[in-house]
Amino acid sequence: MTTTTVMLMPDFMDPIKLLSYFGVWALVGLLVVVFVESGVLFPVLPGDSLLFVAGMLAAGTAAQGEAVNANFDLWQLLVFVPIAAILGGQVGYFIGRYVGTHMFKPNARVLKQRYLDEAHEFFEQRGPFAIVMARFVPIVRTLAPITAGAARMRYATFTFFNVLGAVIWGVGLVLLGYWLGQFEIVQKLLEPILVLIVVASVTPMLIEWYRRRKATKQAGGAAAEQPS
């Protein structure tokens, strides 16, 4: 990537730089990232943009020279990405069920309590289908399986929605990158497209945060107006 992208996001959030670090192990590295981000306690990774770029690489585009040896075959991505996502979600469920959520702390650098609170609210508002929707929301997709496990959601129910979400998310984003990567305009505008994907991914969380903040202010105002 050019310096423009490096300035816009840290290296570990830049999908092409991340893939280039893995070198000949690019496919294995990709699957490890997907597995970890799908429920294994490290919620800040470039899952959406990484799958999009992987699809472009499978199509033979997306700055091949920078992603060293990332010669993905489309069938590999369509088979192994959903499997890695499913397994990560299942591990996250058991972490929540048997380990609990006490490792999340208000001042923690990675496992912040507010991340878990946001995932729990997201989960409560939408029911089991939140497991599918959460796949498309960074941080929430990592913590939704842990929240489901801690809430003792039926294992069969969780597994069904986890598999459904993993397939829709993994296959969908890879195919989107593979298809759009055929267009020269997309190749030329890859950097702003990646930034747009990141912004689009976090928008639902920003909306939820704004709604909660507004509701809290309204509740505080109503309490202040009540006679003592």
- The pLDDT of residue 205 is 57
Give the 3-state secondary structure of residue 46: coil
Phi first, then psi, for residue 19 (nearest 5°) are -65, -35
- The pLDDT of residue 43 is 59
How would DSSP label each residue in 116-160?
HHHHHHHHHHHGGGHHHHGGGSTTHHHHHHHHHHHTT--HHHHHH
pLDDT means over runs of 10, the chain (228 residues): 43 72 86 90 73 85 53 90 96 88 70 70 75 83 85 89 95 89 61 60 60 63 57
pTM: 0.73
- The pLDDT of residue 113 is 73
- The pLDDT of residue 92 is 93
Residue 4 makes CB contacts below 8 A (sequence gap 6+) with 191
Best CA proximity match to 55, nearest among 17, 102, 15, 83: 15
Number of Cβ atoms within 10 Å of the Cβ of 185: 8
Distance CA 94, CA 217 (A): 37
Phi first, then psi, for residue 107 (nearest 5°) are -105, 15
Radius of gyration for the alpha carbons in the chain, expressed in angstroms and rounded: 19
- The pLDDT of residue 24 is 81
Phi first, then psi, for residue 112 (nearest 5°) are -80, 140
Find where tokens 């030329």 sit. 188
Phi first, then psi, for residue 105 (nearest 5°) are -125, 150
Ranges of each domain in the chain: 3-214
Number of Cβ atoms within 10 Å of the Cβ of 168: 16
